[in-house]
Structures are given as structure tokens and as C-alpha cells.
Structure 1
Amino acid sequence: MLTNAAKPFVKLVDRYLPDPFVIVLLLTLLVFVAAMVFQQQAPLTVIGYWGDGFWSLLTFAMQMMLVLVTGFMLATTPLIQAGLDRLACRVRTSGQAIVLVTAVALIASWLNWGFGLVVGAFFAKALARQVQVDYRLLVASAYSGFVIWHGGLAGSVPLTIATKGHFSESLIGVIPTSQTIFSGFNLTLTLLLLVVIPLVNRLMQPKDEDTFLIDPARLQDPVIESSVSERPADKLEQSRWLGWLFGGLGLLYLLNYFYLQGGLNLNSVNFLFLFAAILLHQSPRQLLNSLQQAISGSAGILLQFPFYAGMMAVMVQSGMAQSLSQFFVGLASSETLPFWSFISAGIVNIFVPSGGGQWAVQAPIMLPAALELGADIERVAMAIAWGDAWTNLIQPFWALPVLAIAGLKAKDIMGFCLVQLVITGLIISLVLSFV
């Protein structure tokens, strides 16, 4: 049934979905028009909002890029790569490959979204070298695991409100991750998705005549050979003791940090993945080679992030984001506010694909509403987090590193992701509303 259901979505997206950079340009135009029509903003005023906000997220963009880059560097360590190859060698059928790549991507994304994106893509390539499987679905399965990230250890919203000094502290205080990431409803939702998403991907497997196969020779990762040199500088770059020393120092600091302060935040997660990568890559040269690949895979994000920052500025300064959030708040009661928070966050995420940026937009509306209605603050916050993650399935911005590694285009995978959007949206809505 799902094979037949996915087929028209795949054809539709393949025919009409443009490049992600074209999408951000079209979305920007849509936001311009909406701000002028619905918020009665003058054209030059809207352009002013856009231009003034274009560089407003540079600090946050750097933080997000570090999440992606450190996750990439950790995923490309010899230990992780060897583990993925050994796991891929155990797979014998295409169905097993689809289920396994989804499970690995889900678990890795729960640990760290950048790590999950990269590990999923590399594992998809490793599997495609071992078995004949629809490569588009395999990569889409790897990307579908990303939907779980905001309920995991690197979630921007739960980590932000767990950090002292966050901008909403005067309103809600500091909320530990035990009440968000590790709450009963969030763990229930996470476990359900760990079961359902791999099953749905397996059931979407195309028939033999529609299967898109790829030559395994095209999937070989480039080998970067270290040149042998007698120069003292080169020997220093290739020495292992520096990697072991500074990797160990970084992890020692983290152990002390967690013992004294506890809790996860974006900085501690980035610190953990960076120094784990330094330790496992061993030599500075290997780490720098991995960094070079990581940066090339994130080039699309670097180009598009300022456009989304400008778009977010228009939505915030014109009042459009607030109006959208307030519209859904007006429909809500204390019981239904988490559901409407989830839906509104999913819509806003299409225009503002940044968990932290979206929280800055929606928290000033949703949190006072939750306090006034007597709704569960933690559940509302996580509903916004899950809404942000949910529509990433059809927002190709974060798929760019996966596509760069896999060698595909957004149109190749988004048809399958549309089916997942419907099914996961139903599951998340039910859990947020009733569990």
C-alpha cells in the first residue's frame, strides 16, 4: 500500500521541486508579499527588515555550523567508519538495508543532529556498495532519521531552556532536561518513532521495475593520502601524541564540567564531539583532512543561512510570525495548546529552519499563553521543538549535507519524505495531546 502511495509523491517532487537555493529565494518572495498584504507593511519597510536581519544570526549560525562540522568529523573517524563498514557487510537484502540505515540515523540523530545527518549518509553509501537497493529511498531513509533530533540530546529548545541566563528565564526559570528530553511523554514519542519510521521506509520500497540502482564504483569515498616527509613540521602534524593529549584534556574538562554543573547545552555538546573527534582521529593532519570534507559538505548551508535570517527578520519585525502563533493560540485550550504549538512550529519552520531562531520567535507568544491557560510548559516547549523537526522532512535546507555526501539532489528523496511527514505528524500529534 505504501509503495503505491509513495509513487505519485516521488514523481510529483521529481518533476517540480527546484534546487534548495531556489526554494529559499521563492520563500523570501512569499514572505515579502505576505508581510505587505496581511501586515500592511510598505515595500521599502519590508526590504529594510530583510536587509537589516540578513546577518543577524551569524553567532547562532556559527554555533550550528560547529554542531554539523564536529558531528561530521566524529562520523569520519576511522573507528566510526570501520564500524559502519562492518555493520554494512552483515546486510543481505534491500529491506534489511532500508530498516538498518533508518535505525542508525535515528539513534545517531538523537545523540547529535550533525552526527546523525553525516553518519546516516555515509552508512547509506556503505550499504549501497553491499546490496542492490533503491538508492533514493536508502538516502531518504537516512534523512528521515533526522526528524527525531529535536527530542534528543542536541535539541536546541530543551538545551536552551536548561541553560542559565536564557532569554525566557524570568518567565519560566531554568527547566532541566529531565523534564523535557527525558520526560515520559518525550521518551514514549521517541521510542514510537524508532519503531514506526523504519517500518514505513521498508513498506515504501519500490517494485523492481521502479528501483533506482547506482553503480557501487561511484560511491567510493575519496582517499586522502598523507605524504611522507622528513620535515619536522610535517612530522608534528602527523604525530599522534598531540591528538591524544588534547583529546584527553578536552574530555577531562567535560567530566569535571558535568560533575560540577551537570546538564547538556549546545556548547557542551559541541565541545564533546570536537574533542572526541580529535582523540579518535589521533593526528592533527587527519583531523584537518576531515574538516576540509565537512566544510565542503556544508557549503549550501553557509550560503542559505543568511537568506533565512533575513526571512526570519521580516516575519518577526512585520509581526507576521507573532500573528501566526497568536492565531493558533486563539484556537487552543490548556489541553490542546501543545498540539497547536506543534502545528504552528511546523509551519514557521518552513520559513525559519533554525530551532534556536524559531524558539526566539515563538517563545514570547507561546510561553505567556501556556501560563495564562495553565498548560504544561515543558510539553509546549517540546511541542515547538518537535514541530521544528517535523517539517524538516519537506524543508530541504538541512538535507544539503546528506545530499552532498550521497551525490543526489533534493528532488530524489523528498517524495518519500512527504509520506513520512504525514505519518510522523499524526503520531507526534497524538502523543503530545494524549500521553
Structure 2
Amino acid sequence: MLDKASRPLVSMVDKYLPDPYLFVIILTLVAFIAAMVFEGHGPMAVIEMWGDGFWNLLTFSMQMLLVLVTGFMMASTPLVRGILNRIAGLAKTPGQAIILVTFVALIASWINWGFGLVVGALFAKALARQIRVHYPLLIASAYSGFIVWHGGLAGSIPLVIATEGHFTEDVIGVIGTGDTIFAFFNLAIVVALFIIVPLVNRLMLPAEKDSVYADPNVLDDEPDTAVVINRPADHLENSRTLAWLIGFSGIAFIFQYFMDGGGLNLNIVNFMFLFIAIILHQTPKRLLASLNEAVKGGAGIVIQFPFYAGIMGVMTASGLAASISSGFVSIASAESLPFWSFLSAGLVNIFVPSGGGQWAVQASVMLPAAQELGADIPRVAMAVAWGDAWTNLLQPFWALPVLAIAGLKAKDIMGYCLMVLIISGVVISAGLTWL
């Protein structure tokens, strides 16, 4: 049933969704026009907001590039590749492959969003090497697991408001994760999505005659590891001693970091990926050969993320993001505020695809409204978090690392993601409103 229902969405996206670079250019122009029409700013003022914000995501852009590069390097090691292949061997049919990749991506994304993006894509490729399965849906299924990240252990909004000294502490105090991440309503939403998302993806699997299979050249991504010694420097490049000395130094740091109570974040995930890759590749030459393959897919991140930073600058400085949030709040009650917060966050996320940045924009509107209406503040905060995660299924910003690893384009997977978006939106809305 869902295969037939998803076909119009897949066809529409294939025809009308532009390349992610063109998508961000169109969003930029839409933000320009909206800031001028609805907020009354002049053209030059809006352009200045855009230019001032253009480089505000440089650190984050580098982190995302490293998510792709370090994750690829780690997964291309013989050991990790073998583990992924063995787990992939549990699936014997295309349907089982779709369910398994979705489930693995959901677990990994709940632990950490960067970890989930890389593991999901690499595991999908491992499955595609063993089973003939509709490749665009397989990759879409891997990406769909990303929806749970903001309700998981690395959710930026619940972790921010659980940290002493956060920027809204004078308004709401410190709210522990027991009231957000581990609250009954949030865990119920997560459990429901763990059941429903794999089933939705499985039900969209087309018949074999309609399936599109992976390009063997995309799946054959193992770097050349031949050892050639022609000069003294070659001995250093193929030295296991050097690799292990620096590699195990990094592992020692990671061990001490967690012993000191450190938690998972993007930097430590990248650090772990990098130093595990250094050890498992065994020599600097093998690591660099893997790196050369990994960086080929990073062009989209490099060119597009500054444009999204510029859009964020326009949305925040012009007041447009706050106006969108206020518009939803104006029609809310104490009971319905989480639902409207969820929808407004989903809309804002299309233009401001950053959980932390989005909370900085929306908190100033949502929290006073929650206090005035007597709404449940932790639930409202999680509604913003879920809205941010929800429309990532429509926004190709976060899919770039997955697409780079998979060798696909956004239009190849977004039709399937749109179906998951519709069904998961109902599930999340119900959980925020009635549980």
C-alpha cells in the first residue's frame, strides 16, 4: 500500500527538488523576500544580515566534514568492514535489509546524531554489497533513523537546559533530563518511532522489477593498501609503530575523558572515529589512502553550510524566526502549545537547520508563552526539539554526509523521506499532545 502511495511523492521530488546547492540558494532568496515583506527591512539591511552571519558556522562546518571523513576512514578498515558485513548478513531478503538498516540507524542516532549519520550510511552500503535491494530506499531508510536524535542522549535542547548557567536559566531554571529525554512522553514517542519507521520503510519497498540497484563502483570503495618500499621515507609511511604510538595516545585521552565524566558530543565522536581509524589502518599510508577517498564526498558540505549560516543570520536578525514562532503561539492554549511549538519548530528548521541555533531563536518566544499559559515547560522545550528533528526529513542539509557516502543525490531519497515525515509527524504530535 505504501509503495503505491509513495510513488507520487518520489516522482514529485525527482522532478522538482533541485540539487541541494540550488535548494539553499532558493531558500536564501525566500528568506530575503520574507524579511523585507513581513519584517519591513530594506534590501541592503537584509543583505548585511546575511553577510554578517555567513561565516558563523565555520566550526560546525568543519565538524560535519570530519563526521564524514573520520567515519569513512574508520569504516573502511578491514576490521570494521568485516563487522558491518557480518551484521548485514543477518538480513536474507530485501525487506529484512530495509528493516535492519532503519533499526541500526535509529539506535545509532539516538546515541549521537553524528554517529547515526555515518553508521547508517555505511551499514546501508554493507547491506547493498550482500543483498540486491532498492538502493534509494535503503539509503532513505538509513537517513530516516536520524529523526530520533533530538529525543536521544545527544539532543542539544534538553542537554542545554540541563546545564547550569544556560542562557534561559533565569527564566526556567535548570531542567534535568529526567523531565525531558527520559520523561514518559518522550520515551513513548521514541519507542513508537522505533516500531513505526522501520515498518513504513518496509511497506514502501517496490517490487523487484521496479527496483534500482547500487552502482558496483560506489560500493567498491576500499582504498589501495599495497605496500611499496622505494625510498627511506616509505618505511615511515608504512610504519605500524608510528601509527600505534599516536593512535593509542588518542585512545588514552578518550578513556580519561569518559572517566572524568565527559559525555558524547560531536567533537568526541570525531576524535574516537579518527584515532580508532589510525590504529585499525595500522600504517599512515593506509590511513591517507582512505582519507583521499573520503574527502571526495565533502564538497557539498564545504560550499553549502556557509549559505545556511547566512540564512540563519537573516532569520534571527530580522525577527522573522521569532515572528513565525509568535504566530503559532498566538493561537495556542496550555494544552495545545506543545503541538504548535512542534509545528513552528518544524517550519523554522527548514531555514535554520541547527538545533542549538533554533533554540536560541525560539526560546525567547516559547518560554514566556508557556509561563503565561501555564503549559508544561519541559514538554514545550521537547516539542521544539522534535520539530527540529522532524523536518530534517525534508531538509537536505543534514543528508549531505549520508548522500556523499552513498553516492546518491537528494532527489533520490527525499520522496521516501517525505512519506516518513507525514506519518512520523502524526505520531510525534500525538505523543506531545496526549501522553
TM-score, normalisation: structure 1: 0.91
Aligned match of 2:183: 183
- Paired residues of 1:353 and 1:388 also in contact (CA < 8 A): yes
Aligned match of 2:421: 421
Measured after TM superposition, the shift of residue 193 of structure 1 is 1.1
Counterparts of 1:320 and 1:60, CA distance in 2? 23
- What SS is found at the alignment partner of 1:181? coil
Aligned match of 2:309: 309
2:399 is aligned with 1:399: yes
- What SS is found at the alignment partner of 2:130? coil
Aligned match of 2:330: 330
TM-score, normalisation: structure 2: 0.91
Aligned match of 1:54: 54
2:139 is aligned with 1:139: yes
Counterparts of 1:182 and 1:276, CA distance in 2? 31
TM-aligned CA distance change 1:277 to 1:213, over 3 Å: closer
Name the count of aligned residue pairs: 435
CA RMSD of aligned residues (A): 2.5
TM-aligned CA distance change 1:288 to 1:6, over 3 Å: same
Counterparts of 2:320 and 2:214, CA distance in 1? 45
**CA displacement, residues 339-388 of structure 1 (integer Å, 9 cap, x when unaligned):** 22211111111111122222222222223333333333332222222211
- Paired residues of 2:223 and 2:289 also in contact (CA < 8 A): no
2:86 is aligned with 1:82: no
- What SS is found at the alignment partner of 1:86? helix
Measured after TM superposition, the shift of residue 32 of structure 1 is 0.8
**CA displacement, residues 232-271 of structure 1 (integer Å, 9 cap, x when unaligned):** 6544444444554444444444444444445444444444
**CA displacement, residues 393-417 of structure 1 (integer Å, 9 cap, x when unaligned):** 1111221222222222211111111
- Return 135-144 or 419-428, whichever deviates more: 135-144
Residues 385-396 of structure 1: pairs in structure 2 closer than 5 A: 385-396=385-396
Aligned match of 2:355: 355
TM-aligned CA distance change 1:365 to 1:71, over 3 Å: farther
- Paired residues of 1:106 and 1:146 also in contact (CA < 8 A): yes
- Return 57-66 or 205-214, whichever deviates more: 57-66
TM-aligned CA distance change 1:288 to 1:384, over 3 Å: farther
Measured after TM superposition, the shift of residue 172 of structure 1 is 3.5
Aligned match of 2:93: 93
- Paired residues of 1:247 and 1:275 also in contact (CA < 8 A): yes
Measured after TM superposition, the shift of residue 127 of structure 1 is 2.0
Aligned match of 1:8: 8
Q: Which amino acid aligns with 1:371?
A: Q
- Return 95-104 or 220-229, whichever deviates more: 220-229
Q: Which amino acid aligns with 2:328?
A: F
Q: Which amino acid aligns with 2:25?
A: L
TM-aligned CA distance change 1:80 to 1:108, over 3 Å: farther
- Paired residues of 2:61 and 2:301 also in contact (CA < 8 A): no
Measured after TM superposition, the shift of residue 24 of structure 1 is 0.6
Aligned match of 2:31: 31
Counterparts of 2:125 and 2:391, CA distance in 1? 25
TM-aligned CA distance change 1:239 to 1:188, over 3 Å: farther
Q: Which amino acid aligns with 1:363?
A: A
Counterparts of 2:71 and 2:78, CA distance in 1? 14
Q: Structure 1: where are the runs of 5+ without partners?
A: none
TM-aligned CA distance change 1:377 to 1:133, over 3 Å: same
Counterparts of 1:125 and 1:317, CA distance in 2? 42
TM-aligned CA distance change 1:230 to 1:26, over 3 Å: same
Aligned match of 2:318: 318
Counterparts of 2:137 and 2:18, CA distance in 1? 19
- Return 178-187 or 65-74, whichever deviates more: 65-74
Residues 145-156 of structure 1: pairs in structure 2 closer than 5 A: 145-156=145-156
- Paired residues of 1:159 and 1:264 also in contact (CA < 8 A): no
- Paired residues of 1:177 and 1:263 also in contact (CA < 8 A): no
Q: Which amino acid aligns with 1:78?
A: P
